[in-house]
Amino acid sequence: MFQSRVSLAARAAQRSIAPQSRGLATASPVSSAARNHKIVVVGGGSAGISISHQLLHSGKFAQDDIAVIDPAQWHHYQPGWTLVGGGLKNKEDLRQPMNSLVDPKFKFYNQSVGSFAPADNAITLENGDKLSYEQLVVVPGISINYGEIKGLPEALADRNSTVSSIYSYDTCDKVFRTVETLQEGKAIFTQPAGVIKCAGAPQKAMWLALDHWKRAGLYNPAKPAESPIKISYATGLPVMFGVPKYNAILEQMRKDRGVEGLFQHDLVAVDGKSAVFATPNGEVVKPFDLLHVSPKMGAHAFVKNSPLANEMGMVDVHENTTQHKKFANVWSVGDASSLPTSKTAAAVTSEAPVLVRNLLQSMEGKELDASYDGYTSCPLLTEYGKVLLAEFKYGGEPKETFGNWFGIDQGKPRRAFYHLKKDFFPWVYQNYMVKGHWGGPNGWK
C-alpha cells in the first residue's frame, strides 16, 4: 500500500488513479529519544491497524511503545471497491482519515520507509530519520503496478475511455459508469498471472456487469451469440479459481452463462480499443468496447530489496507462526508476507491474532504456541443478491464456517451471504476490525 516506483511517464499518468498514491502528511518533529520503540509496525492497512490495536489491548505497552509507519492520509476498505464497481456503494463511505484510526498512545510516523537494517534492529524512513525497535511487524501490503501494462495508466486516467479497474479508489466508480454506458459490443475482464490481492475480485466485477446487462435486456446467457453484448474472461491462470471445489462451480457457471474463457491470457498492453495478451503461443490481440483490468501487483521495492525478502520479494516468514525465518524479532502477515494463502482482508482476521500472540510470547521468552492454518475467505459476488462464500485453508482445502455450523454447502451462491458481503462485513470492519476487536470466524475479541 506504499507508493511503488514506476517509470517517469507511467508515474505521471498514474497520479490521478493509483490507490496507493498517497499525499504525505507532515509528521510532527520527534526527539531522538522518542525514536526508540518496543514495537514498530510498518503499514496502516488492514493488517497494520488491526495488529497495532490488538497489541495495545494486551495492556503491556505504554505511550509511544508502539510506532506505526504509513504515508497514507486515508485508510480504505478496499474489499468494498467491488461493491462500488457494481453500483452498490459510494466509495466515499469506504474510507476514513488515517490519523482518526491511529490510537493516541501510538507514535504515528506519516512517512514512507526507506530501508530496513534488521541486523541492527533499525529502520530508516524516506526522510532520513532512523528508528530502532525491539520487535518489528512488516505489513505494508503490496504494490499495484499499473505501469507494468503498457498504456494502462493513460487509459485509466482518461475519463472518456472505457477502461476501468476496481483496484483503485479513483477508478472503482468508473467501472459502473462504463458498464451502464455500454449498449453493445465486446466486454473483456482480465486477471493477471502472478500474485494478486483478492483473486476472486476480477470475477466479481464481471458477474455483476453480466447481471446488469441481463436485467437491461442486453445479454441473454442462454443465447450469448445473439446478445448485443459479448463477454470474455481473460486470465493469466489456467483455471477460474485456485481452489478445486470452487473452481469447478465457477467454471460451470462460466459455461452456463455463455462467457468466453481465455485462459493463460496475461494482459501486457492496452492500445486504443485493443488489448494485447501474452499467451503460451505468443501475443494475441483482442478488440474491446469495454475493458476491466486487474493490474499487475508485486512486492514494494523497499521490502523486495531488503534482507527481509525471499526470492519473490515477500517478507520471508514461517507459514504457521508468522515469525521471520532469519530474524526472530521480525513478523509479517497479509499481502506483504510469504504466507502461501490468498491475500485478502479475511485472511488478516485470522493471521493477526496468531502474530500478536506469538510476538508477545516471544517478548516474554516463551514458546510460540499460536498457529495459522492458512484460513482465508472470498465472498464471491455471482450476481446482484447472491454470493458464493468461498472459505479455505492451506492446500486449497475448504474450511467453511457455515458448513461446520449448519451443514450448509457454501459452494452454492446464497442471498444471506450477499448481505454478509454488502452490509455486515463493511460494518464490522469499520467499527471493530480496525480497532482490534474482530477475529474473523472466531468473532469478536
Query: Which residues are identified as catalytic?
Result: 198, 378
Residue 441 to residue 375: CA distance in whole angstroms: 9
How many Cβ atoms sit within 10 Å of the Cβ of residue 30? 14
Query: From CA 380, how far away is CA 235, in angstroms rounded?
Result: 16
Residues with Cβ < 8 Å from 336, sequence gap 6 or more? Answer: 43, 138, 139, 140, 141, 142, 299, 300, 303, 314, 315
Record the cell numbers describing residue 267, joined without a space: 494482459
Distance CA 434, CA 427 (A): 11
Q: Which helix (H) or strand (E) holds 261?
A: strand 260-263
CB 119 within 8 A of CB 307: yes
Q: Which residues contact 409 (CB under 8 A, 6 or more apart)?
A: 400, 403
Residues near 28 by Cβ (< 8 Å), separated by ≥ 6?
none
Residue pair 243/396 in contact by the 8 Å Cβ criterion:
yes
Q: Which residues pair with 324 in a beta bridge?
A: 317
Helix (H, G, I), strand (E, B) or coil at 370: coil
At 244 the three-state DSSP class reads helix
Q: Which grid coordinates are listed for 270? A: 492496452
Pairwise CA distance, residues 340 & 125, whole Å: 29
Three-class secondary structure assignment of 78-109: HHHHHHHHCCCCCHHHHEEEHHHHCCCCCEEE
CA–CA dist 347, 358 (Å, integer): 17
Q: Which residue reads 476490525 in cell numbers?
A: 433
Helices (H), 344-407: 345-363, 401-406
Pick from 390, 332, 379: which is nearest to 47 by CA?
332
CA–CA dist 75, 97 (Å, integer): 6
Cell numbers at 383, concatenated: 450476481
| CB of 175 closer than 8 Å to CB of 35 | no
Q: Which has the closest alpha carbon to 156: 140, 177, 141, 142? A: 177
